[in-house]
């Protein structure tokens, strides 16, 4: 059985629905790292990403009662994570707060100094994007949502989503090629 075997997910969901919190642990070990990545790429903050994932798993036992087993659990968890992250970003705007990791650290996952430097550059480039552009870019190119889905998630028009993606790519190209 692979770590993301959907059949296994379904069994874990069933166990969690019947109140077995050990199933929550299994789901956490299986999905948390990927979901942290989703939340981190959207919020730009490791602390907020952890808060998002915490909220997700605290709410999971109740929310799973409404989860329809027609789709893959992983995709559903990602969508809920995206919504939680967007929600959190809007809240911090009112408090006039900026993400704590506004200059992200080099990622520990890189295998060599060169690769680490390259990834550091990518993360730095992403950090320069305004939230509106970074969100659309991440949702479309990294998380694989359609423009129609992004328009629903962000409450914007499909055309707006397309324009923002275009601008995000253009801006990233500029930064990565050393243009102002």
Partner 1 sequence: MMDRWIDEIAQLRGPEPSDDLLARIHDRLARGEHVILPVEDGAPAATRWWPRAAAAALVAAGTALLFLWPTAPLTAGDTQGELTFTPATPHAGDTVQVVYRAPTTLASRDRLVLRARYRTPHDDSYNAGMRQIVAGELTPAADGLFRTSLRLPGPVVYGAFAVEDADGRIVDSNGHRLWELLVHDRGGQPTFDALTQRENDLMGRNWEQGYETARQVAALYPDRIASWSNLLFYENNVLGESHFDSALTAHRARLKGFHDRLAPRASLGGDDLGYMFWYARIVRDSVRESFWKRRLEREAPASPLAVQNRAIAIVSREWKDKDSVRALADLDRLWDEAGPAHGNLISLGWRMARRLADSAALVRWAQHSWQKDPRDSTFIAEAFTQVPALREEGMRLLREELRGLEARNDARRALERTVDEQQAVDAAESREILVTLGDALIASGRTTAGLDTLKRAVRDGWDVALLRRVAQIQVSSGDTAAALRLLGLVAVDPETEAWNRDSVSRLMGRPVDSTKWSRIVNESGDEMRRRLLDLAVRRPLPPVVRLEAAGGRAARFDSLARGRVTVVAFWSRYCAPSKAELPALERLAARLRRQGVAVVTITDERVSDDLEAFLAAQRLTFPVYGDAWKEASRAFSQWGTPSYFVLDADGVVRYAYRDLARIPAEVAALQ
Show contacts with partner 1 in window 141-160 (CB under 8 A).
141-142, 152-157, 160
In angstroms, rounded to a whole number, what is the distance separating the alpha carbons of residues 24 and 47?
21
CA distances from 36 to 46, 121, 131 (A): 8, 20, 18
Span 30-59, contacts to partner 1 by CB under 8 A: 32-33, 36-41, 46, 49-50, 53-59
Q: Which tokens go with 16?
A: 């969690």
In angstroms, rounded to a whole number, what is the distance separating the alpha carbons of residues 46 and 64?
26
Q: Give me the least distance between CB of 2 and partner 1, in Å please.
A: 19
Q: Give me the least distance between CB of 152 and partner 1, in Å please.
A: 5
Q: Does 65 bind partner 1 (CB under 8 A)?
A: yes
Q: Does 102 bind partner 1 (CB under 8 A)?
A: yes
In angstroms, rounded to a whole number, what is the distance separating the alpha carbons of residues 57 and 91?
20
Q: Does 93 bind partner 1 (CB under 8 A)?
A: yes
Interface with partner 1 (CB under 8 A), residue from 18, 70, 112, 179: 18
Interface with partner 1 (CB under 8 A), residue from 11, 15, 107, 124: 107
- Rounded to the nearest 10 degrees, the angle between the axes of helix 147-154 and helix 158-176 is 100
């Amino acid at each position: 059985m692979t770590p993301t075997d959907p059949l296994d997910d379904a069994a874990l969901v069933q166990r969690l629905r019947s109140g077995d919190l050990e199933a929550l642990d299994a789901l956490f070990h299986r999905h948390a790292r990927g979901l942290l990545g989703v939340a981190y790429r959207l919020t730009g903050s490791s602390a907020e990403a952890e808060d998002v994932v915490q909220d997700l798993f605290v709410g999971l036992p109740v929310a799973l009662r409404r989860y329809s087993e027609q789709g893959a659990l992983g995709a559903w968890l990602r969508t809920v994570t995206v919504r939680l992250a967007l929600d959190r970003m809007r809240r911090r705007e009112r408090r006039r707060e900026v993400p704590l990791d506004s200059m992200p650290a080099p990622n520990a996952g890189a295998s060599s100094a060169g690769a680490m430097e390259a990834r550091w550059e990518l993360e730095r480039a992403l950090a320069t994007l305004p939230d509106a552009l970074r969100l659309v870019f991440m949702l479309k190119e990294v998380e694989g949502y359609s423009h129609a889905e992004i328009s629903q998630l962000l409450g914007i028009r499909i055309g707006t989503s397309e324009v923002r993606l275009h601008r995000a790519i253009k801006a990233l190209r500029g930064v990565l090629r050393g243009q102002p």
